[in-house]
Structures are given as structure tokens and as C-alpha cells.
Amino acid sequence: MTIREKGYHHWDGQFLERRHPWWPITRLGIRLTFKRKFFKFIFSSSLLPAVVFLAGIYISERLEDFRGMARIESLLLNISAKYFGAYLTADFLLFMAVIILVFCAAGLVADDLKHNTLQLYFARPLRKRDYLLGKASVVFFFLFLLTLVPGLLLVIFKLIFSGSFRLLRENPWLPLAVLAYSVLFTLFLTAYALLLSSLSRNGRAVSLLIFGVYLFSDMLFNILYGIFHSPYLGLLSMRTNLKLLAVPLFGLKPPLGLPWGYSAGLLAAVVALAAVVLVKKVKGVSVIR
């Protein structure tokens, strides 16, 4: 008995010459991430700091109406470039970014390795850089929604609430600083997550690694700093390194007085390492028979 329910028909359409052949990979990655349990709740929660900082901007423009809250932190009342830097370097934001990486990035490469799908990708007219860009863009999408979009919206809302361009006159490079920090922050975390994702075929193990390395780097710094009191131990902490990146962009006080260049070099090295490992690990041919 035949299993065919219909005969074979040829397709008479035309192939597209896509400018961005990686886009279907990104679109599917985003769609599958949103389908994951609890992700929508987690992602909504991660936007909480943006709402708090937005409220801060509103209050700063309506001080007269909020006299009862006059004792709130001076940062909230004085909206400068540092205020936006404070949003982008908030500990909670980084914590939520790492949680989002667990959801959206852990399985990006690991699942393809586990389920042997790389050979299906590369049996298509797809280059390695298209595949990697498609996967990385999934992470870019979520992290930009967490950093760049709220960062720029906060600037816009400040202009709207104040009814003047004073903020931009005093800090003309502010939108660029928000853009630059968001790009650097996202680039590092994407490289970090994809690097770990390519090192294992087990998505759960990668999830643990993504969260574990972030936590462990901070714990190690705290323990060693408690013993040796050397500020350079801050370079062990992912959180401190990412904060140091914001120092030149927003004029923030450097944590532990460390020069930001060291952190920039360290994070760039991780990105370069990730690129090398990914190029080696991602290939259509994995088995030699």
C-alpha cells in the first residue's frame, strides 16, 4: 500500500537572491524563543528598570508636584548623561540580560550540534557567516530591546517631558553613547553566549554555563578582593568589566578606579576567541567515515 497521499509536483517559482540570507534563521530563532515557557514573563520583567528610570525622568521634570519625594537620590533629580549610564549599567539589567541569554542563546548552536542540523543548513546556499550572523542576530534582537531601545526612548521621553533640547545641547553625543554602549554590551554578551553554546551539544549544560560563569566571575572577584584588596582583581568580574566600558561614554566614575582600557581589551579578547572557536566548530562536515 502506497504511503503517498499526493503525487510529486514540480515547483515552478523563482529562487530569490536574498540580500540577507541569514534573516530566516533570525526570525525562526526569535519565534522559537517567544514560544518558550515563562519567556514572555521574564522578558517583560527585564523591562522593569526602564519603567523605573522613565518614572525618574518624569519626576525630575515635575519636582514641584512631587515635593514629598524630595529626599530621593540626587541622581534621580539631576538628569544628565550619567543617568542614562546608570540605567545601562544597572546590576539588575545585566542580571536579566544573562537570564535572557539562557532562554534565547543557550541552544542556538548547541541544539544544531546535538541534532546534526548543521549539515542541513550548509547543504543550502548559506555561508558560515550567514549562519553565525543569523544566530547572533537572535541575541542582538533581545539585547537591543533591553538596552538600545529603552536607552533611546528614555532620551526621547526626557526631551518630551522637559519640552526643551537642553539635554542634547549639554550632551550632544548622548544618543551615540547609548548606541555605542548598547552595541558593545550586546556584542560581548552575544559572543560570550554563542561561544559557550558551541562548546557543548547539551543546551541545558550551556544554560548553566552562561549563568554560572557570570555568577562565578563575580564571586571569585569578591572573594579574592576581600583577601588581596587589589583593584585589578575587578578584571575577573564580568559585571565590573561591562561597567568599565560605560565609563568613557557616560563620564561615570570607574569602579575600583580601574582604567577602562584594560576591560575593553579583555572583552575584545573574549569576542575574538568566540569568533575563532565558532568558525572552527560550525561546519557542515563533522564526521569522517
Partner 1 sequence: MSLSAPANIELKDIAFSYGRIRALQGVSLVLGSGATGLLGPNGAGKSTLLRILLGFLVPEHGQGQVLGYDIRTQQPEIRRRVGYMPEDDCFLPGMDAVTFTSYFGELSGMPRKEAMKRAHEVLFYVGLGEARYRLLETYSAGMKQRLKLAQALVHDPKLLFLDEPTSNLDPQGRREILELMIDIASKRDIHVVISSHILSDIETVCGRVIILNKGRVAAQGLLADLRETHFNLFELKLKGEREGFLGKLEAAGCRVEETEDQVLRVFMPTDLDKRTIFRLAAEEKVQVRHFLQSRTSLEDLFAQTVGVEG
Residue whose grid cell is 553554546? 197
Q: What is the DSSP letter of 36?
A: S
**Mask for 127-146, x = binds partner 1 (CB under 8 A):** x-------------------
Question: Which residue, 191, 203, 219, is CA-closest to 106?
Answer: 203
Crossing angle of helices 81-88 and 238-250, in 10° steps, is 160
Q: Which range of residues in 94-102, 107-115, 215-223, 270-278 is near partner 1 by CB under 8 A?
A: 107-115
Distances (CA, A) of 63 to 67, 158, 168, 169, 278: 6, 14, 21, 22, 52
Contact yes or no for 147/138 (Cβ under 8 A): no
CB of 8 to partner 1, least distance (A): 5
Nearest-angstrom CA–CA distance, 270 and 211 = 16
Is 161 in contact with 50 (CB distance < 8 Å)? no
Site string for partner 1, 25-64 (x = CB under 8 A): x--x---x--xx----------------------------
Is residue 19 close enough to count as binding partner 1 by CB under 8 A?
no
Please tell me whether residue 262 binds partner 1 under the rule CB under 8 A.
no
Task: Give the residue, chosen from 3, 71, 163, 226, that forms a contact with partner 1 under the rule CB under 8 A.
Answer: 3
Residue 280 binds partner 1 (CB under 8 A): no
Sequence-distant (6+) residues with CB within 8 A of 117 are: 111
The verdict on 24 binding partner 1 (CB under 8 A) reads: yes
Q: Which of 78, 117, 164, 230 binds partner 1 (CB under 8 A)?
A: 117
Decide if residue 116 touches partner 1 (CB under 8 A): yes
Please choose, out of 11-19, 86-94, 97-105, 146-154, the segment that lies near partner 1 by the rule CB under 8 A. Answer: 11-19
> What are 174's three cell numbers?
548622548
Cell of 103: 532562554
At 287, phi and psi to the nearest 5?
-120, 135
Q: Scan for cell 540626587, then name that residue.
A: 74
Q: Which residue among 88, 105, 112, 181 contacts partner 1 (CB under 8 A)?
A: 112
CB of 275 to partner 1, least distance (A): 21
Q: For partner 1, how many residues bind (rule: CB under 8 A)?
A: 43
Contact window for partner 1 (CB under 8 A) among 97-105, 173-181, 251-259, 281-289:
281-289
Contacts with partner 1, residue ranges (CB under 8 A): 2-11, 13, 15-18, 21, 24-25, 28, 32, 35-36, 107, 111-112, 115-117, 119-127, 283-285, 287-289
